[in-house]
A and B are shown apart, each in its own frame.
Chain A
Amino acid sequence: MPIDLPTIWAAIIAFAVLAYVVLDGFDLGVGILFPFFPERRDRDVMTNSIAPVWDGNETWLVLGGGGLMAVFPVVYATVLPALYMPIIAMLLGLIFRGVAFEFRWRTARGSSWWDIGFCLGSLVAAFTQGIAVGALVQGIEIADRAYAGGWWDWLTPFSLVTGLAVTVGYALLGATWLNLKTSGDLQARARRLSMVAGAATLVLIGVVSLWSPFIDQVYFERWFGWPTAFFSVFVPLLLAVCAIGLWHGLTTDKHLQPFLAALGLFVLSFVGLGISFYPYIVPGALTIEDAAAPDSSLAFLLVGAAVLVPVILAYTGYAYWVFRGKVDPGEGYH
């Protein structure tokens, strides 16, 4: 059987996007939660908990975008113009929150302004990413390899709800991350916020899951027709397991478990999207096969990705391990 390069690449891109969502998700979430931690001291600890890793986290977004251009150029060239305004807003949001890590330390009086920039930037980035998901689910109009819709097509009640869902979900990831990385009063507050954000996330996952099958007949059949209905039992079941894991972890003061459970919620939602989309990469418009670049491009980049992605995962893991443990705002240990 010949190697199906487009499918392999669809899997790699999906992995890059998922890696981005869960990794940058928690550090964006920390920014979203800033209003709940007004003290400068708490905010220092919060930013320090993500400062060593945010840069690597965001690189997955560049891999998702750059990789898409390389292996599915027509998707890159149609989805980005379709999402012109949300993408620009996301980029501007990422600028503010990216520089805020450094800038808030460089000024005493201006630091609260950079805190606001960090929080708003994180919020905007999260919300627009959610909008992008919603816009993709509801479909993008493509004619002759180009975007053929209008400038506001992305703006619908559904995309606003997915925007909200992703924002709240990121807040959950951020809160459980802080629960993992901090101690004392800060952790206690992070744990309470995790409960609130966790409940809200589950409700919103439910709303989006029940809504999307009615957007398109294809999704409906995918989820309620046989044999794929198997998944529509399987995914909610696993979601329930994660929800229980989250709740149990938070109520018994576990530190790692709630974070892992929150990650699980994201992974499952992402798998759910994949089930709805396959074999399309832009639902209703482009299949994985249609959109793929020539095999010469796919094969050339695959050689590198096959070797490098595991290496990257290894040293990224190492970097997380080096900075493991609680961020201690008090006495340091050496």
Chain B
Amino acid sequence: MDFGLTAEMLARIQFAFTVSFHFIFPAFSIGTASFLAVLNALWLWKRDEAYLQLFEYWKTIFAVTFGMGVVSGIVMSYQFGTNWSVFSDRAGAVIGPLMGYEVLTAFFLEAGFLGIALFGRKRVGDTLHMVAVAAVAVGTLISATWITSANSWMHTPAGFSIGADGTFIPEDWWAIIFNPSFPYRLTHTVLAAFLTTAFAVGAVGAWHLLKSSSNRQARIMFSMAMWMAALVTPIQIFVGDQHGLNTLEYQPAKIAAMEGHYESHPEGAPLVLFGLPNEAEQRMDLAIEIPKLGSLILKHDPNAPLEGLDAFPADGRPPVLVPFFAFRIMVGLGLLMLAIGLWSLFERWRKTIYTNAWLHRAAVTMGPSGFVAVLAGWYTTEVGRQPYTVYGLMRTAESLSPVDAPAVGASLMAFVIVYFLVFGAGVFYLFRLFRRPPVLNEDHELDRGPHRSAGINPGPAQEDTIREGAGHAD
């Protein structure tokens, strides 16, 4: 089971694999939790059944996603110890408390109120139910804050000293939490989560509009999603640009890899639109470039010098291939999102937003775009951090557990098999949920699911909701 792969490579693949799967779920559940809170608030405020039905529709989808996020997250919290024990030992005193606060302030909040938010409406009344829904949404945001802080610290470490035994000793928690890249990374990540949800919700709405453009719930979700796309995408592009400037300041080698500059450009760098990174020769083959634009974007001066990878020692350079292409995928998808957002504004102005089938088809196609962009962004930043786990201070090769390659390889295979089986099934069930029309009537049973409430039987509870829905419709 060796395949010539070292334990380090296998551990890296295992981490990348498990974190990629995991990241998809919070990226979606952060946005969806806030979406549910907004829907529930709109229902309480306007008493319009359509919002309640949308809440019920998306809460089931949220429940499935959240469950997968929780279990894949537990894996992450133990993998630092199993595969990266030297990193855990040396950086645990800094990273650990940040993750500890994530558990204390976020995970318990989400988990504690999830049952009430999903299935306790009738047990606790509207006000407390709203509190529970809001608590879950706030919990997901708090969680994002802490984990992004921990991750940012690994990119731009601050506020520590290094002890005699090589361990990182926290000195200034304020500086650790609010390390230099944290504000950019947090904003960029949370907006990405909102956009991911917006495009998923927009795609489901568009899909049902293509079937029936008069479906009121489909109209509401499509409209809300397109507002989000139109308003948030430009902000996200701006934040992404600011994040890039921050990276240039603290991790210039990563920028060189992302931009595809093997060579330094003392008199203004071009923008490499496309090329094939040639690691062996340390140059970009078949490069298509726009002169001076790279320096103009990054330094706001077409003639400003820009360092290439040749400015860094050979053993301190990140690989180019992954950051270069992943970055282009992320930016390309961002521009497509912007296009859809602007298009929706145009159709809204023409009053054809609910009837223009081409817009709807485009929105359906863009459904997975947020997930792909989030993962591409993740690869850009994480591979760009190589060859370090703690940037400039601790190498990935030094972070590894004293593990044997076969043990890591075997567990990697087990994860691959189980993840594809379990999360494959999960995605299949999600698509089945998406396919249901977002209306509640006798023909389309809206929910069948674990009834998270003692004493209330799924069957009668459901019939009640249906009867109430029908009553209001009369």
Chain A residue contacts of B70, Cβ below 8 A: 55, 58, 98
0/1 interface trace, chain B 93-105, chain A, CB 8 Å (1 if under) = 1111101111111
Chain A: which residue is nearest B80 at the CB level?
A69
Chain A residue contacts of B120, Cβ below 8 A: 52, 322-323
In contact, B78 and A80 (Cβ under 8 angstroms): yes
Q: In chain B between 25 and 49, which residues have their CB closer than 8 angstroms to a CB of chain A?
A: none
A312 to B108, CA, bound (A): 7
In contact, A322 and B425 (Cβ under 8 angstroms): no
Picked from B104, B105, B119, the residue with its CB within 8 Å of the CB of A52 is B119
**Quick check: which of B194-202, B254-262, B335-343, B445-453 contacts chain A, the rest being far away?**
B445-453
Residue A241 interfacial (CB < 8 Å): no
**Quick check: which of B163-171, B267-275, B365-373 contacts chain A, the rest being far away?**
B163-171
* Total B residues in contact with A, Cβ cutoff 8 Å: 85
A274 to B95, CA, bound (A): 27
In contact, B103 and A62 (Cβ under 8 angstroms): yes
Residue A76 interfacial (CB < 8 Å): yes
0/1 interface trace, chain A 180-199, chain B, CB 8 Å (1 if under) = 01000000000000000000
In contact, A297 and B123 (Cβ under 8 angstroms): no
Chain A residue contacts of B235, Cβ below 8 A: none
Nearest CB of chain A from residue B177's CB, rounded to whole Å:
10
Q: In chain B between 77 and 118, which residues have their CB closer than 8 angstroms to a CB of chain A?
A: 77-78, 80-82, 85-86, 88-90, 92-97, 99-105, 107-116
The majority secondary structure among interface residues of chain A is helix
13 residue pairs of the A-B complex, CB under 8 angstroms, read A48-B450, A59-B111, A63-B103, A63-B107, A76-B96, A77-B85, A80-B85, A151-B407, A312-B112, A315-B109, A323-B452, A323-B453, A333-B456
Residue A71 interfacial (CB < 8 Å): yes
Q: In chain A between 309 and 333, which residues have their CB closer than 8 angstroms to a CB of chain B?
A: 309, 312, 315-316, 318-319, 322-333
Pair count A-B, CB < 8 A:
283
Given A81-B81, A181-B454, A319-B115, 12 other A-B residues pairs in contact with their CB atoms under 8 A: A52-B119, A55-B110, A55-B111, A69-B81, A69-B88, A70-B96, A77-B81, A94-B74, A147-B402, A294-B167, A304-B100, A304-B105
Given A59-B108, A323-B115 in contact, is the A146-B86 Cβ separation under 8 Å? Answer: yes
Residue B1 interfacial (CB < 8 Å): no
Residue A308 interfacial (CB < 8 Å): yes
Nearest CB of chain B from residue A180's CB, rounded to whole Å:
10
**Quick check: which of A100-108, A221-229, A249-257, A260-268 contacts chain B, the rest being far away?**
A100-108
Given A51-B115, A84-B82 in contact, is the A92-B414 Cβ separation under 8 Å? Answer: yes
Residue B460 interfacial (CB < 8 Å): yes
In contact, B456 and A294 (Cβ under 8 angstroms): no
Chain A residue contacts of B419, Cβ below 8 A: 95
Picked from A48, A103, A300, the residue with its CB within 8 Å of the CB of B97 is A300
A110 to B425, CA, bound (A): 10
Chain B residue contacts of A151, Cβ below 8 A: 404, 407
